[in-house]
Amino acid sequence: MTWIDIGALDDIPARGARVVKTAQGCVAVFRTQDDRVFALDDRCPHKGGQLSEGLVHGHRVTCPLHNWVFDLETGQAQGADEGQVATFAARIEGGRIWLDAARLLRRGAA
Amino acid sequence: MARKLVVIGAGMASGRMLEHLTETAPEAFDITLLNAEARGNYNRIMLSPVLAGDKTYDQIVTHDDAWYAARSIACRFGAPVTRIDRAAKTVISGGQTTPYDKLVIATGSAPFIIPVPGRELPGVVSFRDLDDVGTMQAAAARGGAAVVIGGGLLGLEAAAALAAQGMQVSVIHLMGHLMERQLDPAAGYLLQKELEGRGITIHCRGATKAILGADRAEAVLLEDGTIYPADLVVMAVGIRPETRLAVDAHLEVERGIVVSDQMVTSDPDILAVGECTEHQGQLFGLVAPLYDQAQVAAQVLLAEPAAFRRRQTATKLKVTGCDLFSAGDFADGEGREEIVFRDPARGIYKRLVLQGDRLIGAVMYGDTADGNWFFGLMKESADLSDMRETLIFGPAFQGGAPADPMAAVAALPDDAEICGCNGVNKGRIMAAIQGGAGTLEAVRACTKASGSCGTCSGLVEQLMAATLGEAFAAPAARPICGCTELTHEDVRRLIKARALKSMPAVMQELGWKTSCGCHVCRPALNFYLLADWPLDYRDDPQSRLVNERNHANIQKDGTYSVMPRMWGGMTNPEELRAIADAAEKFGAAVKVTGGQRIDLLGIAKADLPEIWADLNAAGMVSGHAYSKGLRTVKTCVGSDWCRFGTQDSTGLGITLEKRLWGAWTPHKVKLGVSGCPRNCAEATCKDIGVVCVDSGYQIGVGGAAGMDVKQTERLVDVASEQEAIDWIVAFVQLYREHGKYLDRPYKWVAKVGLGWVQEVLADDRRRAELVARFDLSQTIYQKDPWAARTDAATRRAWSPLADLTREAAE
C-alpha cells in the first residue's frame, strides 16, 4: 500500500465528493453523512458520468447522468443495472484523508 | 527503598491510577501529586449537575485531603509545573524541584477557545473546571442572556443548566445538527426540538465571527450577521490535549502526547494518561477509556504485563428529561443493515445498525431504557439471528412470535384510538367501513380519521383490509420513493400542516425508512422545505443534483455550459464583448439558444468561478439555465420598434424577469411576452405567456413545447401592466406552494384544475398574500449565485482536491 495524504476531511462536504487527479484518471473521494470516506474511479461504467458529481445517500451514490446507483464500498451497481467501479482504500486519520495510491501512481521513474 | 513517583495533574485518569496503585502495592512508591488547580481530584463529569444546582461540589469530590493523607501521597495543589528536566529526572514547580524515578503526565486538556475578536472580554468563559462553574453560577444569578458556543455534549449540558436557572439561552453550533459526533441527524433533530421546547434558541450552521462588547461581553455576532445578546458567553467548542510540558521536554507529541499500549511516552521513565494522550492516532474525551488507561499505567508502573486497548463507548446526555443514547458505529455500510423505529407522536427514534447477525451500533432518542441492553449485545458481539425481527422492541419482547401487523390491528379493542388528531376510535371507523365507506377518502369524509396529520392513513387502510379482505384494494397512489409510503402531495401537505422545517424533521415525523433519503426524495424535500419555509430552512446543496449544486449545466464529457442572463433577450455591445472575451479565454463553443440568450459550452468545472467573475465584471448574472426555477422571458421588440406592437412587451418581459429570477420552482419555468397577437415571442406555448392587445394583456398558463406540446390556457385578461405582473407573480407562488416536484406548470394545472387556480387568484386578498409570500422568499433567494461563488474558497472547492499525476511510484 502507498498511503498519500490527499487533504483534510473538512475539504469535502458531508454527503459530497471531491476529485483527485491521477495518472490513471480521476478518482472520486466521497464523504458520507456519517463521516466515512470512500474512493472510487470517477467514471460510471454506463456512459462515463462523473460519480463525484452524484448525489450521496447512505453509503451510495447516484450517477448524475442517468441515475445509476453504486455502492461506495464495493463499487457495485445497484438494482437492475449491472456494472462495477474500481474502488481504492481510503481512511481518515487525525482529520486528514489518506488514499492508497499504489495502483494510481505512474509506474517507475521516467 | 521505595522509588519516587511524581504525578502531574490530579484529574480523573490519574486519580483512578493512584487508586489502583495504592490498593495493589501501597509501599511501592513515594508519591508526589502536583496539580495546577488548587484542589484535588473531583468528578469532572458531574460539573453539569453542579452548574444546574442538582449537586454541590462536596458531592462530586472523589479524593479529599484525608484520602491522600491515608495513602501518604504528598500533594502540592495550586502550583503549576513549569518544566520537566529529563536529564536530571526532576520536575520544577513554583521554584521547587522534585526528583522522580517514574513520572506520570496527566495534564488533561484545555478548552479550545476559538480565535475570534472579543474572546478575552470579561464574561467569556469556558466550561472546564469548578472555577468556570462558579463564574457561570454568578452570571446566572444576575439573570439575562447567555450564548453557548458549541452544541456538543458539554455545550448542551451547560445550556440546559443555565436555562434551568432562568437565563435566556442561545446555542450556536457550527455543524448541521446537534452533537453530530454522537447522533445522526434524526436524533439531533429530536434533541433540538426538546431543547427549543425549553425556550433555548438553537442556531445550527452558525459560525461565530466576533464577541461584541466594550468592557465586557455584550453580544455574539455570527458570520451570517445574526446577533445574539449575551451577558455570558460560554465557549464549549471542544478541547485540545494540554501538551505544553511534554513539548518543552521534547517528548514525542502529535496532537496529544504519544503513548504506547503500555501508556509509556517516548521516554521510558515517563508515562502519560488521560485526555492529554494520543494512542494510535486517537484522542480521548470520554471517561471510560481513560479509566482503562489508568489501570494499564498502574500495572506497568508495577512491572506487570498490561496493554491498553480502545473499547467501544456509549454516550448519554446528562440533561434531565432528554433521553438520548448513542454507542458504537452507527454508520451505514456494505453488509450492514439498519433497523429504524420511529414513533412520531411520542418523539421516539431508535436506530440499530447490524453487520451480519451482530449489533454494531445504536442511536436512541426519547426512550433509552434498552440502551444498556443493546450496548451489552454490542460488546458481547452476540448472535442475534433468532431475535432480529423483534430486536428493536428490546428485551421485553424477546421470545414471542414475530408480530403480524394485520393481526395486531384486528386485535385492537373498539375504543382504541386510531386517529389521534381527531379522536377517532377503531369502532367508529369500523362502523363507517361496514356502512359502505370503501376507500380511505370515504372513511376520511365520514369520520375525519386521517384527515389532519395523515400519519394514521396506513392504520386505517389496514383496518379496511382486515374488514373488507379481498374487496379492499389499497389505493395506487405512488409514494415518492422507496424511503417512504407517502406521496408528494401527502408530504407537501404534512410539511405545511405540521410546520416541519428541516430535512431531519420531515424524515422523523413522517417515518422515513432510510436515515438520509435518496436521490429521488432529497431534491424534492429540499425544494418543498425552502418553498414553504424560506426564512427557517436553509438550502442544502448536497441534496441538489449536479447542475443546481454547481450552478452550471454538466455536459456529456463532464464539462459545463455557462449562460448569463439577458434580460428579456436584450443585450448590448459591452456584454457581447465580455462574452466574446470569455469564450476566447476559456475556449468555449458559443451557441445562441431558443430562449434568446448565448450559451458558452465546454467550460471545465475548475474554471467556472473565474468565468463567472469575468461575466460578473461586465454586469451579467447567472441565467439559471440549470435550475428548476425561472429560465428565460422571451420577448418581441413590441411597441418600441414594431409597427404592430400594441404594448411595451420587451419592457414587461424585463420587469417580469427581474422580479422572478432566482426563485426556485417545482420544475423549470419559461415565460414569453408578445407585443401583439402575431405572437413573435411564441408566448402561447410557454409555462406562462402574455399576449399584448390594444385593450391590455391576455395571460395564458400551462403551455408546453417539450416532450408534450400544448397551447396555454387563458388565465385572465387584465387591463394594466401592474395587474398582469401581480397575477403572474401570484400564479408562480401558487405553483411553488402546491406543485409536485418535477411537474411543469401544465401538469400541475391539469391536476388541480384551471378553475381552482383562477378562483384563488381572482380573490384580491389571496392574490396579494401570494405576492407578499413570493417577495418574502425572494429576499432570501434572489441572489446571484455567481457573485457568491467567485471567492477563493469556491475556487478551491470547484477544483480537484489533490493532483497525484506528478507523483511516481517507486
Question: Tell me, what's the pLDDT at B439?
Answer: 80
Put simply, the answer to whether A94 touches B522 (Cβ < 8 Å) is no
Q: Which of A79-83, B130-134, B452-456, B712-716 has the lowest mean pLDDT?
A: B452-456
What percent of chain B stands above pLDDT 90?
Answer: 55
Using a CB-CB cut-off of 8 Å, the residues of chain A touching B523 are: 55
- Report the DSSP pairing between strands B560-562 and B553-554: antiparallel
Question: Tell me, what's the pLDDT at B808?
Answer: 64
Distance in angstroms (rounded) separating the CA atoms of residues B99 and B78: 19
**Is residue B205 less than 8 Å (CB to CB) from chain A?**
no
Is the model's pLDDT at B549 over the cut of 60?
yes
Is the model's pLDDT at A51 over the cut of 90?
yes
Please answer whether residues B135 and B128 qualify as being in contact, where contact means their C-beta atoms are separated by less than 8 angstroms.
Answer: no
Which is more confident, B249 or B405? B249
Using a CB-CB cut-off of 8 Å, the residues of chain A touching B333 are: 36, 59, 73
**Is residue A84 less than 8 Å (CB to CB) from chain B?**
no
Is the model's pLDDT at B420 over the cut of 80?
no
CA distance A73 to chain B (A): 6
Read off the C-alpha cell for B588: 468555449
Specify the long-range contacts of residues B766-770, CB closer than 8 Å, at least 24 apart: B766/B730, B767/B726, B767/B727, B767/B730, B768/B726, B770/B729, B770/B730, B770/B733, B770/B734, B770/B737
Please answer whether residues B13 and B110 qualify as being in contact, where contact means their C-beta atoms are separated by less than 8 angstroms.
Answer: no
Residue B728 neighbours by CB distance under 10 Å: 27
Question: Tell me, what's the pLDDT at B453?
Answer: 52
Is the model's pLDDT at B604 over the cut of 80?
yes
- Report the DSSP pairing between strands B417-419 and B232-235: unpaired
Query: What would the pLDDT profile of B4-30 be if each residue is shown by its tens digit?
Result: 999 999 998 999 999 999 988 888 999
Question: Tell me, what's the pLDDT at B422?
Answer: 65
H/E segment holding residue B90: strand B90-93
Q: Which of B483, B441, B484, B476 is nearest to B460 (CA)?
A: B441
Question: CA A33, A34, A36, A41 torsion: positive or negative?
Answer: negative
Distance in angstroms (rounded) separating the CA atoms of residues B810 and B807: 9
Query: What would the pLDDT profile of B280-305 be if each residue is shown by its tens digit?
Result: 988 887 777 888 899 999 999 999 99
What residue has cell string 420544475? B667
Distance in angstroms (rounded) separating the CA atoms of residues B279 and B284: 9
Q: Which of B165-179, B247-261, B346-360 has the lowest mean pLDDT?
A: B346-360
CA distance B586 to chain A (A): 20
Question: Tell me, what's the pLDDT at B404?
Answer: 54
Q: Write the CA distances from B673 to B677, B704, B715, B761, integer angstroms.
A: 10, 15, 14, 20
Which domains are assigned to chain B? 3-109+241-301 (3.50.50.60), 113-237 (3.50.50.60), 323-397 (3.30.390.30), 405-471 (1.10.10.1100), 488-544 (no CATH), 547-617 (3.90.480.10), 630-781 (3.30.413.10)
Report the largest interatomic distance among the alpha carbons of chain B, rounded to a whole angstrom: 114
Residues in a beta bridge with A5: A98
**Is residue B643 less than 8 Å (CB to CB) from chain A?**
no
- Report the DSSP pairing between strands B74-77 and B29-35: parallel
Query: What would the pLDDT profile of B111-127 be if each residue is shown by its tens digit?
Result: 888 889 999 999 999 98
Is the model's pLDDT at B388 over the cut of 90?
no
Query: What would the pLDDT profile of A9-42 be if each residue is shown by its tens digit?
Result: 999 999 999 999 998 899 999 999 989 999 999 9
Is the model's pLDDT at A83 over the cut of 70?
yes
Compute the average pLDDT of residues B602-614: 96
Please answer whether residues A40 and A51 qualify as being in contact, where contact means their C-beta atoms are separated by less than 8 angstroms.
Answer: yes
Is the model's pLDDT at B401 over the cut of 50?
no
Query: What would the pLDDT profile of B169-190 be if each residue is shown by its tens digit?
Result: 999 998 888 988 778 888 888 8
Closest Cβ opposite residue B519 in set A57, A101, A108: A57
Question: Tell me, what's the pLDDT at B83?
Answer: 93
ipTM rounded to 2 decimals: 0.92
Please answer whether residues B698 and B673 qualify as being in contact, where contact means their C-beta atoms are separated by less than 8 angstroms.
Answer: no
Distance in angstroms (rounded) separating the CA atoms of residues B427 and B707: 49
Work out the burial of residue B765: count CB atoms within 10 Å of its CB; fewer than 13 is exposed, 13-18 middle, 19 or more buried.
Answer: exposed
The nearest alpha carbon in chain B to A16 belongs to B542
Residues in a beta bridge with B600: B562, B590
Give the three-class secondary structure for B43: coil
Distance in angstroms (rounded) separating the CA atoms of residues B171 and B708: 51
Which one of A38, A50, A53 makes the best mutation probe of the B interface by having the most chain B beta carbons within 10 Å?
Answer: A53
Question: Which residue type does A41 have?
Answer: D
Read off the C-alpha cell for B168: 435566556
CA distance A81 to chain B (A): 16
**Is residue A3 less than 8 Å (CB to CB) from chain B?**
no
End-to-end CA distance of chain B: 56
What is the 3-class SS of chain A, one letter each residue? CCEEEEEEHHHCCCCEEEEEEECCEEEEEEECCCCCEEEEECCCCCCCCCHHHCEEECCEEECCCCCCEEECCCCEECCCCCCECCEECEEEECCEEEEECCCCCECCCC
Query: What would the pLDDT profile of B54-70 be if each residue is shown by its tens digit?
Result: 888 888 888 888 999 99
Read off the C-alpha cell for B467: 374488514
Rounded to the nearest integer, the mean pLDDT of chain B is 88
Using a CB-CB cut-off of 8 Å, the residues of chain B touching A48 are: 556, 558
CB environment B533-548: b (16+ within 10 A), e (fewer): bbeebbebebbbbbbb
Put simply, the answer to whether B545 touches A15 (Cβ < 8 Å) is no
**Is residue A9 less than 8 Å (CB to CB) from chain B?**
no
Q: Which of B629, B623, B628, B627 is nearest to B596 (CA)?
A: B623
Distance in angstroms (rounded) separating the CA atoms of residues B669 and B732: 9
Put simply, the answer to whether A15 touches B546 (Cβ < 8 Å) is no
Closest Cβ opposite residue A94 in set B255, B330, B332: B255
Read off the C-alpha cell for B237: 467548542
Which domains are assigned to chain A? 3-100 (2.102.10.10)
Put simply, the answer to whether B333 touches A73 (Cβ < 8 Å) is yes
Helix axes B153-164, B185-197, angle to 10 degrees: 20
Using a CB-CB cut-off of 8 Å, the residues of chain B touching A107 are: 808-809
Residues 6+ apart with CB under 8 A from B311: B288, B289, B292, B379
The nearest alpha carbon in chain A to B797 belongs to A11
Residues 6+ apart with CB under 8 A from A28: A17, A18, A19, A39, A40, A41, A42, A50, A51, A52, A61
| B375 band by pLDDT with thresholds 50, 70 and 90 | confident
Residue B138 neighbours by CB distance under 10 Å: 10
H/E segment holding residue B130: helix B130-142
Question: Tell me, what's the pLDDT at B674?
Answer: 96
Which is more confident, B655 or B47? B655
H/E segment holding residue B316: strand B314-316
Q: How far is CA B419 from the centre of its chain?
A: 31
**Is residue A79 less than 8 Å (CB to CB) from chain B?**
no
| B460 band by pLDDT with thresholds 50, 70 and 90 | confident
Please answer whether residues A44 and A76 qualify as being in contact, where contact means their C-beta atoms are separated by less than 8 angstroms.
Answer: no
Closest Cβ opposite residue A34 in set B331, B522, B544: B331
Which is more confident, B666 or A105? B666
What percent of chain B stands above pLDDT 70?
Answer: 94
Put simply, the answer to whether B334 touches A7 (Cβ < 8 Å) is no
Question: Tell me, what's the pLDDT at B5?
Answer: 96
| B407 band by pLDDT with thresholds 50, 70 and 90 | low
Question: Tell me, what's the pLDDT at B226?
Answer: 92
Compute the average pLDDT of residues B593-613: 95
Distance in angstroms (rounded) separating the CA atoms of residues B350 and B391: 11
Full DSSP string of B551-615: TSEE-TTS-EEE-B--GGG---HHHHHHHHHHHHHHT-EEEE-TTS-EEEEEE-GGGHHHHHHHH
Distance in angstroms (rounded) separating the CA atoms of residues B598 and B671: 17
Using a CB-CB cut-off of 8 Å, the residues of chain B touching A19 are: 800-801
The nearest alpha carbon in chain A to B283 belongs to A94
Work out the burial of residue B435: count CB atoms within 10 Å of its CB; fewer than 13 is exposed, 13-18 middle, 19 or more buried.
Answer: exposed
Which one of B174, B180, B332 makes the best mutation probe of the A interface by having the most chain A beta carbons within 10 Å?
Answer: B332
Residues 6+ apart with CB under 8 A from B641: none
Compute the average pLDDT of residues B712-716: 96
Q: Which of B82-86, B222-226, B310-314 has the lowest mean pLDDT?
A: B310-314
Q: How many A-B residue pairs are in contact by the CB < 8 A criterion? A: 131
**Is residue A39 less than 8 Å (CB to CB) from chain B?**
no
Residues 6+ apart with CB under 8 A from A88: A27, A39, A40, A99, A100, A101, A103, A104
Put simply, the answer to whether B546 touches A53 (Cβ < 8 Å) is yes
Distance in angstroms (rounded) separating the CA atoms of residues B472 and B463: 10
Rounded to the nearest integer, the mean pLDDT of chain A is 90
Question: Tell me, what's the pLDDT at B1?
Answer: 63
| B79 band by pLDDT with thresholds 50, 70 and 90 | confident
- Report the DSSP pairing between strands B145-149 and B168-172: parallel
H/E segment holding residue B521: helix B521-532
Q: Where are the beta strands (DSSP E) in B472-519?
A: none
Is the model's pLDDT at B757 over the cut of 60?
yes
Q: Which of B339-348, B493-502, B554-563 has the lowest mean pLDDT?
A: B339-348
Compute the average pLDDT of residues B727-753: 93
Put simply, the answer to whether A54 touches B333 (Cβ < 8 Å) is no
Please answer whether residues B700 and B689 qualify as being in contact, where contact means their C-beta atoms are separated by less than 8 angstroms.
Answer: yes
Put simply, the answer to whether A107 touches B184 (Cβ < 8 Å) is no
